[in-house]
Amino acid sequence: MAAPRTQFYHPAPVIDAALRGVERCIRRAEGVALVVGPPGTGKSLLLAKVAEHVRDDFDVALLSGASICTRRALWQAVMAAIGEPYRGIDETDLRIALVERIRGLAATGAGLVILVDEAHTLPTRLIEELRLLTNVPTPLPAVHIVLAGSVRLEEMLGQPRMESLAQRIAVRSYLEPLDHETTMAYLRTQVKAAGLSWDRLFATGCDDAVFTATDGVPRLVNQLCDQALVLVAESERRVTPADIAAAWREIQRLPAPSGLERAAADSPPRMDDDAVLHGDGPDDFGTDGMGVVEFGAGDVAFADESFVMHQDHGPLGDAMLPEEPADPWDGPEVELVFGAGGDPFHEYFKRTDPPVERYTVQGPDDFSGCRHVTSREGQSMGRLLASIARAVPQPAVIEEPRPPHAPTEPVVEPTGKPTATSVASGDADIDDTDMVVIEEDMLPAASGTPAVFSVRPSDYRSLFTRLRRGAAGS
């Protein structure tokens, strides 16, 4: 089964050494224990076995990091694992209750063992909370932590902010897939634990086929053998290497590895390296009957397969190559000529014309080429602006000396009809009823006084107030 069961624990050398190291670390209070390994190599089984060994002397909390994402959830998981109340209690009270339980255990010479499976999925802030839990003041260390996860866990603990926890790691255990010899023993141990015999269930070569397909990963070994037994259950015959290949295709939905297909054959060809190198016999790439061509033998060697030969095996056809090797190239000469272009970055690009802003307006004449659109609303607004302009008295304007071409405050000219400004500028024929011209400089009229009056903010407020009232009345 995919779930670990300690009654089927197989003491392989790697996992058994990790079990002894972790248990020693807990009983001697050496510090934090770390178990790292790829998926399916027995990390969960190892933690279950550790919990089974130390449960008589310690309180054990076996957690799964994937289901914990907050501090409150962490304390709740620990309290639930040791049989303490955890529902309806806030985070602070949970931690206080846990600390009191730890102190009570330390007073009796016991302690708390926290085993975290899939610890690489645990946020680093929660791993730090576990470290702070080991700092509870007790006569002897009473909190023992074991973290198990993938290689990513070790990378997380290697970060600078996790240095305080990394210094407390006393045991590092690394689980690996089983080698060939250990896989053979593991297969027979598992079948014997089920009350059966390997040789009665599996034909010769099945163990090698299982190792070839699974690379010794225990979880895959269990799944593959179980699926193979399911395939032959109705026929009541022994499992063959071909059934192992079929079971692999059924589980993975992928073609079986080439080595597994070879093991599934009745009489797999045994080939030495020299035979494969020289092209004798079949290979895995479908190149049966192909010879070996040495580089530099000349184009004539590629013209016909009958000319292919090897110096150790003699000619492979009727014709023979000349004893003197041909010229590697006897075709027409080819000359490559590249254009002698200049370096495009040799000179700096210079802008010849100054940039021109398309929408720069110099004066009223610039509107002569624009299309003018008139409407009733525009004419009425122009008349309203003109009436306001006549009603507002002209303020006295005192000219102050200023540098040439210095901008002044923008002014607005309400143009219901042609004004002195437009007449003076030669723009009397333009119907500017729909325009409100904003000028940067006040243009002096013939009398020497500004022809455009300044508009105060209060005038704008009264203007738009009157416009809203007029719109509401209409």
pLDDT at 53: 95
Contact of 440 with 407, CB cutoff 8 Å: yes
Answer whether residue 270 shows pLDDT above 80: no
> So what CATH class is 6-174?
alpha beta
pLDDT at 194: 87
Q: Find which of 41-45, 272-276, 347-351 is predicted with most confidence, using mean pLDDT.
A: 41-45
pLDDT at 239: 93
Rounded CA separation 145/33 (Å): 6
Of the listed ranges 351-355, 431-435, 462-466, the least confidently predicted one is: 431-435
Answer whether residue 456 shows pLDDT above 80: no
Of 457, 357, 359, 362, residue with least CA distance to 411:
457
Q: Which two tokens stand for residue 4?
A: 């670990």
Of 93, 66, 95, residue with least CA distance to 78:
95
Mean pLDDT in residue range 362-372: 63
Rounded CA separation 114/111 (Å): 10
Mean pLDDT rounded to a whole number for the chain: 74
Dump pLDDT digits (tens) for 384-430.
777 776 665 655 555 555 555 555 554 444 444 444 444 444 444 55
- Give CA separation, 360 vs 107, 369, 417, 426, in Å: 88, 14, 24, 20
Contact of 146 with 35, CB cutoff 8 Å: yes
* Confidence grade of residue 132 (pLDDT, cut at 50, 70, 90): very high
Of residues 446 and 458, more confidence is placed in: 458
State the residue for tokens 């225990």. Answer: 218
Residues counted in the chain: 474
Answer whether residue 271 shows pLDDT above 90: no
DSSP conformation class of 393: P
pLDDT at 236: 82
- Give CA separation, 188 vs 8, 152, 199, 401, in Å: 12, 33, 9, 108
This prediction's pTM: 0.55
Dump pLDDT digits (tens) for 16-65.
999 999 999 999 999 999 999 999 999 999 999 999 999 999 999 999 88
* Confidence grade of residue 435 (pLDDT, cut at 50, 70, 90): low
Rounded CA separation 272/268 (Å): 13
Contact of 459 with 388, CB cutoff 8 Å: yes
Of 443, 395, 397, residue with least CA distance to 419:
443
pLDDT at 308: 39
| CA 214 and chain centroid, separation | 28
State the residue for tokens 């405050």. Answer: 409
